[in-house]
Amino acid sequence: MAINQNTSYINLKKSFTLRVADHRQRLPSSKIYGDGNAVPRILKFLKSIDLKEPLQKKFCFPPVKDNISQDIDHILETQSALAVDLGGTNLRVAIVSMKGEIVKKYTQLNPKTYEDRLALILKMCVEAASEAVNVNCRILGVGISTGGRVNPREGIVLHSTKLIQEWSSVDLRTPISDALHLPVWVDNDGNCAALAERKFGHGKGVENFVTLITGTGIGGGIVHQHELIHGSSFCAAELGHIVVSLDGPECLCGSQGCIEAYASGIALQREAKKLHDDDLLLVEGMSVKEEEIVSAAHLIQAAKLGNTKAESILRTAGTALGLGVVNILHTVNPSLVILSGVLANHYVNAVKDVINRQALSSVKTVDVVVSNLADPALLGAASLVLDYTTRRIY
């Protein structure tokens, strides 16, 4: 050990001495200053400047040849984005203005195969882009919000759960950008919802906030120091898959006990069907027609009409979601949690109750609110385009 230390000390000393010797060596000046006369030239130039006269005086704008700019159309048009939202059920495309106004919206069922889906996205985008001309909107780019994990740098969907089938390793940017000749940005739907809140909703100007969106599944986004967190492999903020129980219901991700398996639209529908099959769903004042599909809405209706079993299922779902939020508070300590999606209103009080009961006192100052945005995923997709200059990453 002692010998090794000694050898390395000698080596260090040698290399230091060599470096000192190198430094002393005079390099030919041309290697540093080109021809070696740069410094005298700069000094001569500085002496020539009359410092009493401001330098800008010599600059003037080029003369405008024509009184009416040929680009006047572009000034009258509203700067807008094409927003695409790929959800578990629907595929939507919209023209969204800079102010967040949804000028035009198209909705179709999200096809089950990759080929059909991509073809439909392209068809709807082309239709919307040509309509944009009629409604005086200038499309700056395409923003896509999709379920699944996304590499936003490359515009690729890496992997999706069974909610959207045939949706792994899909390059969305290239075919859409090629077809429309526009820049294309892609991000996960939860992240887009957070971007929408940051630009148009309760998250405006808030440094640290989290949004949870409950629809067919559950997604989320974390904004930390005004920026989205994507994580090392773009899997951050998969808030729907926060596990709150060791032996809870099975989740579409393959795990069990995730908050999505308790509180998403699909989870509530599963429970509603079970109740209906056992003749326990319907109470006085409600009915389900034979051809009607039993849904989460029936469960909520039954609970409102006094079905105690339905009430208990919704209470458990709210508690699971609340526990998920408590875990989030203990992980990133945001000052605001925004719940969005169709089920947000049903869950907000349950979430607040669980926070009061189970969160550490220091995080209880968090505000929990329901989003006031009608379409967070679409608005977030638009924000990918409209706000791209203000994002530090992607």
Would you please indicate which residues are annotated as catalytic (active-site) residues? 189
Residue 117 within binding range of Zn ion, rule CB under 5 A: no
Say if CB 201 and CB 373 are below 8 A apart.
yes
Nearer to Zn ion, 97 or 214 (CB): 214
CB 320, min distance to Zn ion, A = 12
Give the range of 85-93, 109-117, 197-205, 248-256 binding Zn ion by CB under 5 A. Answer: 248-256
- Of the pair 203, 219, the CB lying nearest Zn ion is at 219
Half-sphere exposure of 143 (CA within 13 A, CB side): 32
Q: How far is the CB of 208 from Zn ion (least distance, A)?
A: 25
Question: What x-and-dash track marks residues 214-243 binding Zn ion by CB under 5 A?
Answer: ---------------------------x--
192 binds Zn ion (CB under 5 A): no
Give the residue from 355, 342, 293, 351 showing the smallest Cα distance to 317: 351
Binding region for Zn ion (CB under 5 A) out of 94-102, 251-259, 305-313, 335-343: 251-259
**Residue 345 near residue 338 (C-beta atoms within 8 A):** no
- Rounded to the nearest 10 degrees, how much is the dihedral formed by the CA atoms of 295, 296, 301, 304? 160
**How is residue 27 annotated by DSSP?**
P
Of the listed pieces 32-40, 255-263, 347-355, 384-392, which binds Zn ion according to CB under 5 A?
255-263
CB of 163 to Zn ion, least distance (A): 10
DSSP classification of residue 250 = B
Give the interface size with Zn ion as a residue count (CB under 5 A): 5
One DSSP character per residue, 258-310 reads BHHHHHSHHHHHHHHHHHHHTT-S--TT----TTSPP-HHHHHHHHHTT-HHH
**Number of neighbouring beta carbons within 10 Å of residue 148:** 18
Among 210, 258, 366, 386, binds Zn ion (CB under 5 A): 258
CB count within 10 Å of CB 256 equals 14
Indicate the residue among 214 and 383 with the shorter CB distance to Zn ion. 214
Query: Residue 251, interface with Zn ion (CB under 5 A)?
Result: yes
The residue written with tokens 């389900």 in the block is: 288
The CB-of-242 to Zn ion minimum distance in angstroms stands at 9
Q: How far is CA 245 from CA 260, 270, 327, in A?
A: 12, 18, 12
Member of 126, 158, 182, 253 binding Zn ion (CB under 5 A): 253
Minimum CB separation of residue 249 from Zn ion in Å reads: 10
The owner of tokens 């967040």 is 100
Chain residues that interact with Zn ion, rule: CB under 5 A: 241, 251, 253, 255, 258
